[in-house]
Amino acid sequence: MEAVDIADIEAELRAWEQRHAEDIAHERKPEFASDSGIPYQRVYTPSDLKKISFDYQKSLGLPGEYPFTRGITASMYRREHYLAAQYLGYSTPQETNALFKVLQAKGSKALHLAFDLPTIQGYDCDHPLARNDVGKTGLSLSTIDDLAVVLDGIDISQVSVAWVNNPLAVVWVAMMCVLAERQGIKIADTLGFFQNDIIKGFLTDGQFIYPPEASVRLATDVITFGIRHMPKARVTNLCCLQYEESACDEAHQLAYGMATGIAYIRSVLKRGYDIDDIAPRISFLGCVNHRDFLCEVAKWRAARRLWAGMMRDDFGARRKDSMAPWVRVSTGGLDLIKDSRDINVARTAIACLAMAFAGIQSATPKTYDEPLGIPSAEASLTAVRSVQLVQAETGVCDIVDPLGGSYCVETLTHEIEMRTRRELEKIDRMGGMVEAVKNGYAAKEILAAGQRHVRRVTSGEKLQLGLNLYPPENAVERDDFYWPAPAAVIDERIAGLRAFKKNRDQQALAKALDHVRSVAAAEEGDSNNMVFPIIDAVRVGATSGEIADAMRDVFGEYRLPW
């Protein structure tokens, strides 16, 4: 093969543009770019790879090897498809268990547990502040008995359960350990997936309880407990998804997630652990959307390359799995339209195709009724089928990194990596992600991104089919959506919890909760890891709300300063 003469290619490109000037003059827009402002060229050539100093070995390499641009394993989906699951929690423990079993029977390989707001914020269902929200956005859960019902018939040493409760991840790790004891399973044999990323809560969904420093301490306790006692569990999930759903661009999504990961890593390193103890236990929760398809593919290729370099060069990681990030993604809900059910199905299917090109490890696609609330069983199954359709019928999973080497995709990968790196450097100069939260920088950037999104949609600059492009002439009110937790169900939940609370050794309970407070008040470290006193409290019947309150007594509650 003859060497490519870049000067000849560039000269031919200029001549080509002149030959087709009339055609080019009538293009739809004077400029083309992604939603985040990355320019889209008319055509990409080897000249573009020269501009970004593309080096095959350093920039791309082979799958399963540094810098992992092409994927974290050599065979990728030729050996095993990425997981398909749904993020679900439905009103009561009984309903959630039934729904989980239906989806398992249909091919879902993991369970992603969604809690209602009172449970996330540390309130039991009988708390005065909780009643109007019990079971409305997920599962109402307070006790170890509740958890036993949710996971009845589900072997937590064989099925990975994802716990999406960031403020109280430390409580649900303890709950899972006690449940394992009940099931006769060694804690070391349990699978699990604890999101445990509290920093994003201060910036996106408002899901936090305690001040940032105390919250990071609790997140660190979960990580270090997992390192020592739960070798099969993933104990921190760096959230990039919520930033995309807040309309942040690719660089801010990745930078905020990675800067958060760096904050947790530094916190664990202070306790005397090695980077190769920590990094393999960290995974990412991201988004792969249908919009700007090629940028979504490039985003996760860039993320792997950048993260691998940071772990190796900045933190001295030596193990392969320290540098090869495990990535779980959802599809985007921001662009799903309430009155466009069928189009939403198409959007999710296209995004599932992008996932395969992006090289992710697990998928939780959004459902067509995402804009309405908790997904129905039918919608959840349709979303899982979208993943399975790509895996079984398109053929893209038979080739590792099929877009690798594309002039366009490699250029976009480089651009997103450089933008992310610049944002990471800015955050590092501030003192890290916790400081970026406390000084308001990150929140202002996210707010500006959201405002920009609204302006673009309102003006028609950003087109959304079924909203500002071909909107429905007569919006139809759908009657197939079931709103969970009616008043009778809430009353039943409260009555059940009160009965549970009466049937406890009150002296042992008070002693256990006092121990939670004393450890919380002590200096943080492995000798004062909060998981252990919380396990003891759960054993004597403490509820998640009571444990949260015990920590409130020490840490206080945090209020955003803006």
Cα 303 to chain centroid distance, Å, stands at: 14
Write down the residue that tokens 């700007």 correspond to. 292
C-alpha 337/C-alpha 122 separation (Å) is 32
Per-chain mean pLDDT for the chain: 93
Give the number of residues written for the chain. Answer: 562
The CB density around residue 44, as the number of other CB atoms within 10 Å, is 16
Q: Which helix (H) or strand (E) holds 411?
A: helix 407-430
Query: Which of 82, 148, 146, 83 lies closest to 110 in space, CA to CA?
Result: 83
CB crowding 166-201: b at 16 or more within 10 Å, else e: bbbbbbbbbbbbbbbeeeebebeebbbbbbbbbbbb
Question: β-pairing, 193-194 with 110-114?
Answer: unpaired
Question: β-pairing, 160-164 with 110-114?
Answer: parallel
- Helical segments of 431-505, H only: 433-438, 441-459, 487-502
Classify burial at 260, counting beta carbons within 10 Å of its beta carbon; exposed 0-12, middle 13-18, buried 19 or more. Answer: buried
pLDDT tens, residue by residue, 229-283 = 999 998 899 999 999 999 999 999 999 999 999 999 999 999 999 999 999 999 9
Assigned token pair, 119 = 């449970």
pLDDT recorded at residue 121: 96
Q: What are the phi and psi torsion angles at 91 (to 5°)?
A: 65, -80
- Please name the residues in contact with 89: beta carbons below 8 A apart, sequence gap of 6 or more: 96, 113, 114, 115, 116, 138, 139, 141, 374
For residue 478, the SS3 value is coil
Q: What residues of the chain score a pLDDT lower than 70?
A: 1-4, 107-109, 475-485, 562
Q: Report the number of secondary-structure helices (H) and strands (E) in the chain.
A: 22, 8
Q: Which amino acid is at 339?
A: D
C-alpha 52/C-alpha 141 separation (Å) is 51
Classify burial at 526, counting beta carbons within 10 Å of its beta carbon; exposed 0-12, middle 13-18, buried 19 or more. Answer: middle
pLDDT recorded at residue 562: 66
List, in order of start, the domains of the chain with CATH numbers. Answer: 58-459 (3.20.20.240)
Is the separation of the CB atoms in 135 and 489 below 8 Å? yes
pLDDT recorded at residue 481: 46
Is the separation of the CB atoms in 547 and 235 below 8 Å? no
C-alpha 321/C-alpha 307 separation (Å) is 11
Question: β-pairing, 236-239 with 193-194?
Answer: unpaired
3-state secondary structure labels for all residues of 245-272: HCCCCHHHHHHHHHHHHHHHHHHHHCCC
Cα 239 to chain centroid distance, Å, stands at: 4
For residue 442, the SS3 value is helix
C-alpha 426/C-alpha 436 separation (Å) is 10
pLDDT recorded at residue 96: 85
